[in-house]
Amino acid sequence: VGFQKILTLTYVDKLIDDVHKEFRDKYRNEFQQKGALGLLNGTFDFKDDFMRLLRDAEESSKVRAPTVMKTFEQSLKSQKTVKCMIETRGEKPKEKVKNKKNKGSKKDGTEAVAAPSKASAGDKQLSAAGDKEELTKDEILQKNREEFFRRHMKAGEKSRSPKPDTQKEKGKKPRVWDLGNSNAKVLDYSNSATNGSAEACPVEEFDPDTALGDKNREPGRLYDLEYESDDEAEEEKVVQNPSKPSVKKGGLGGMFGMLKGLVGSKSLTREDMDPVLEKMKDHLIAKNVAAEIAVQLCESVAKKLEGKVMGTFTTVTSTVKQALQEALVQILQPQRRVDVLRDVMDAQRHRRPYVITFCGVNGVGKSTNLAKISFWLIENGFSVLIAACDTFRAGAVEQLRTHTRRLNALHPPESHGGRTMVQLYEKGYGKDAAGIAMEAISYARNQGFDVVLVDTAGRMQDNAPLMTALAKLIAVNAPDLVLFVGEALVGNEAVDQLVKFNKALADHSMAQTPRLIDGIVLTKFDTIDDKVGAAISMTYITSKPIVFVGTGQTYCDLRSLNAKAVVAALMKA
């Protein structure tokens, strides 16, 4: 009874009824005399009766009459006449149509039984009518068509919807997104007045909060990069953790075990530092430091500490970690520090524009961070001319034009004594980038612009023709600052990019002292959490400072590098 889906027994229902009746009849008197308590306290000997009823039910299920095939007289085919079974080419017999309808109506039991009798009665009427009056083929076809149209006209009138008064417009309609701009004129740059000229772009109205982000910021200030490190107590706990298990042994043995982990006024050897340095190297590589540079850093720390006499209560791990932190901070603080605002003011005294050229591989964020630096310079009171020298990538000029409109909306000329603070100089696509940069610098000198920001096309470090063109642009125009834009997501690739960019600038330069990369813009820093190793790799290779750090999508997401914050993130376990 409980497992009917697993074991199908056809006699179960009959067996239950028989057992119920047999039990009721056998013990009826006891139920009436003793009542409900008798059921709980009484005993019933019913096993033999149940087995007998089970055997009877099983035997009755086995004895079944075999299925007998229908005779010809019982079939539907015997009820049809010979004439209605004759088929003519090109004519569809009505009997087959009716039989199909009968097959479709077999879902209802009563209709399925009535359908054959109706079909046979209709056949007899048709055969009788055929005997009385013979119809030609054309007449039969015409009659069938009339019945068909008459039957479907009623259904067609109900389902037919009235035609709309306005005809449907031909052609494909553009999709309008919920958060998009439905005004197509805003997106049409085909007949732009600024293409090929240095005139200011029209001012665009938009919400300044979406472009600025932080409302409580101080205008014109470049904030330091911040990193929330763990408490000093937790860090001290991590350093002293390897020596704690020996204390648990208790007594003098625990005390001597702890003292054994201390150096105790002896000089460090390479064997003492190798296990710690190996762990430090793996840790640096896990934090996106290039493998080659991680090895060199550990080697330099080992040479610096080898033979050094340590204090009594200092472990090897804490000594190596402290030395590595000092080395990393020294790497991130190069000897030459780039002060852009001071250099711009110095160029103002000489009545010439200060020129910054941006270069780097594809997709690292050169144009976006150029716009951030423009905003920072404008807030410090300097006028900016953007030179669109990326004449290769589709949409590069339009991207800079959009940034120019946004920056002019944030700092309109009315707020600066009628002076337009940012303009775009562009000559379209397919032109010589070095020539456009030269014209832009000359235009900025004549118009009194303070800073010229030159945007170049992204190029891979292995592409010799493009690297030659970049070296030509830098050699011809002699910018005051060459910034390499690199993303913080890369690891070993950062070394390859910077080495080959510097090599290409040196090889393809026509001057005796070639112009190389002066500084680095580290982008996408908000996407890496504590894997900040790219900053170490880039500064170690070039010995050049990281001037700007991009930390987001708004114009205010620009920071200066804080070496201690980066090292704290790098050394975090």
Q: For 218-239, write each residue's pLDDT tens digit.
A: 777 888 777 655 544 344 444 4
Instruction: Please say whether the beta carbons of 338 and 545 come within 8 A.
Output: yes
Question: Do 358 and 521 contact (CB within 8 A), yes or no?
Answer: yes
Whole-number pLDDT of residue 113: 42
pLDDT of residue 116: 46
Confidence of residue 12 (pLDDT cuts 50, 70, 90): confident
In DSSP terms, 455 is beta-bridged to: 358, 388
Q: What pLDDT score does 23 carry?
A: 85
The pLDDT of residue 38: 66
Tell me what the mean pLDDT of segment 438-467 comes to: 92
Q: Which of 13-22, 86-95, 438-447, 488-497 has the lowest mean pLDDT?
A: 86-95
Residue 209 confidence (pLDDT): 61
What pLDDT is attached to residue 270? 87
Look at the pTM and tell me if it is higher than 0.95: no
Residues 6+ apart with CB under 8 A from 491: 288, 289, 290, 533, 534, 537
**In contact, 386 and 370? CB cutoff 8 Å:** yes
Q: What average pLDDT score do residues 30-42 get?
A: 71
pLDDT in the model for residue 348: 92
Least confident range from 25-39, 67-81, 146-160, 550-564: namely 146-160
What average pLDDT does the structure give for the chain? Answer: 76
Determine the pLDDT at residue 379: 92
2 or 305: whose pLDDT is higher? 305
Bigger pLDDT: 414 or 2? 414
- pLDDT grade, residue 83 (50/70/90)? low
Q: What mean pLDDT comes out for the span 201-222?
A: 63
Query: What is the C-alpha to C-alpha distance for residues 532 and 562, in angstroms, rounded to an integer?
Result: 12
pLDDT of residue 90: 57
Band (552; pLDDT cuts 50, 70, 90): confident
212 torsion bin: left (phi>0), alpha (psi -120 to 50), beta (else): alpha
Kindly tell me if the per-residue pLDDT of 4 is higher than 60.
no
Q: What is the pLDDT of residue 69?
A: 76
Edge-to-edge strand ranges of the sheet holding 481-487: 422-425, 384-388, 451-455, 354-359, 481-487, 519-523, 546-550, 558-559
pLDDT 10s digits, 134-163: 567 777 877 887 887 777 675 555 555 555
Q: Please give the domain boundaries of the chain with CATH numbers for all domains.
A: 267-332 (no CATH), 340-571 (3.40.50.300)
Residue 235: its pLDDT value, please?
43
Asked if pLDDT for residue 241 goes beyond 50, the answer is no
Q: How far apart are CA 419 and CA 178, in angstroms?
A: 37
pLDDT at 461: 85
pLDDT per residue as tens digits for the range 353-362: 999 999 999 9
Mean pLDDT of 344-352: 93
pLDDT band for position 309 (cuts 50, 70, 90):
confident
Query: Residue 434: which pLDDT band, with cuts at 50, 70 and 90?
Result: very high
User: Nearest Cα to 443, choosing from 192, 189, 196?
Assistant: 196
Does residue 66 register a pLDDT over 90? no
Classified as helix, coil or strand, 224 is strand
Q: Are 287 and 529 in contact (CB under 8 A)?
A: no
Contact 385, 443 (CB under 8 A): yes
Contacts for 423 with CB less than 8 Å, ≥ 6 apart: 198, 199, 200, 201, 384, 385, 386, 404, 449
